[in-house]
Amino acid sequence: MDYQGIVIRPPSEWNSIILQVTRGCSHNQCTFCGTYKGVRFHVKPESIIDRDIAFAATYCKRQRRVFITDGDALILPQDRLLALLCKIRRALAWVTRIGLYGNAKSIRTKTVNDLKALREAGLGIVYMGLETGDDVTLEKVRKGVNAQTMVEMGRRVMEAGIKLSVTVLLGLAGPDRSQDHAEATGRTLTAMDPNYVGALSLMLLPNTPLGQDHEAGRFKLIGPVEMLQELRTMMTHTELSAGLFHANHASNYLPIKARFPKDKEASIHLIDQALGGHIPLKPEFLRAL
């Protein structure tokens, strides 16, 4: 397979066929994200994509899922994306789900009917970075949209019958807005009501504006206790009709996997136990991305 640069995928796609169709991210402005810094967004040549699909058709017969990278492959024009999904389905008939990253800006380029057509062609899940529901923080980290648009775009994906997985970032607002960020994010998740939520802890990268702000003393990273307090507030303000709330990413201090609404109270109790010192937190050296 032809992989160029850093290729990332959601943890749940660990066993998927990773098909790199685009390079970079069409937005590429978020101050905390260093994945595609210096990469000009473009779609890879058709011939390379076709070669990769042919390779997967021969050598990836045991993998039931395909994940299309890079950053926001949903930005591909509708006709092109539909043709790609059809090609994947034809060549890899055993594949049961195709997923990709889609930010709110790229979802906005599709109507509900467009998304329904993509679902019928095999698109089963969209992974969206919400990061925070706090408009002040969204603007500061240059996410490009506000919380209301995030909710509308997330709901548009689910209205089309496509599963929605949303990530939020603990620590993103710094110490001063920590609790505002947590509360607003909980309320935004409630309004969106996605199928999956993944809470990650912010890790600063030196090649990002936020990492550089940290080095210059303009941004303070909160510690493990504040991260947990944020997670507690976020979960308290989150109501999901039947979603899975994960906070078990490698970057997190306390692994949590909760089916809402039934596991919500027990998870908050677990956080309280950790905050009270009754459960040890993951040591710094075991945290990684």
The window from 24-32, 192-200, 237-245, 268-276 that contacts ligand SF4 (CB under 6 A) reads 24-32
Least distance CB 265 / ligand SF4 (angstroms): 32
Alpha-carbon distance 102 to 73, whole Å?
A: 7
27 counts as binding ligand SF4 under rule CB under 6 A: yes
Q: Apex CA 219: angle with CA 206 and CA 40, to 5°?
A: 40
Binding status of residue 74 toward ligand SF4 by CB under 6 A: no
Q: Which of 18, 19, 30, 98 binds ligand SF4 (CB under 6 A)?
A: 30
Q: Is 25 in the site for ligand SF4 (CB under 6 A)?
A: yes
Strand 22-23 to 42-43 pairing: antiparallel
- Of 103, 132, 165, 201, which lies in the binding site for ligand SF4, with binding defined by CB under 6 A? 103
Q: What φ, ψ does residue 234 adopt, rounded to 5°? A: -60, -50
Residue 71 interacts with ligand SF4 (CB under 6 A): yes or no = yes
Helix boundaries (H) for the chain? 46-59, 78-91, 104-107, 112-120, 135-140, 147-159, 178-192, 209-215, 224-236, 264-275
Rounded to whole angstroms, how far apart are CA atoms 241 and 264? 11
CA end-to-end distance (rounded Å), the chain: 23
Report in angstroms how near the CB of residue 34 gets to ligand SF4 at its nearest: 8
Instruction: Give strand pairing partners of 245.
Output: 197, 258
Site string for ligand SF4, 105-124 (x = CB under 6 A): --------------------
Residue 35 binding ligand SF4, by CB under 6 A: yes
User: Under rule CB under 6 A, how many of the chain's residues touch ligand SF4?
Assistant: 9
129 counts as binding ligand SF4 under rule CB under 6 A: yes
Only segment of 26-34, 174-182, 218-226, 252-260 that touches ligand SF4 (CB under 6 A): 26-34
Should residue 258 be labelled a site residue for ligand SF4 when binding is judged by CB under 6 A? no
Q: Are 202 and 171 in contact (CB under 8 A)?
A: yes
Q: Are 272 and 279 in contact (CB under 8 A)?
A: no
Interface positions with ligand SF4 (CB under 6 A): 25, 27-28, 30, 33, 35, 71, 103, 129
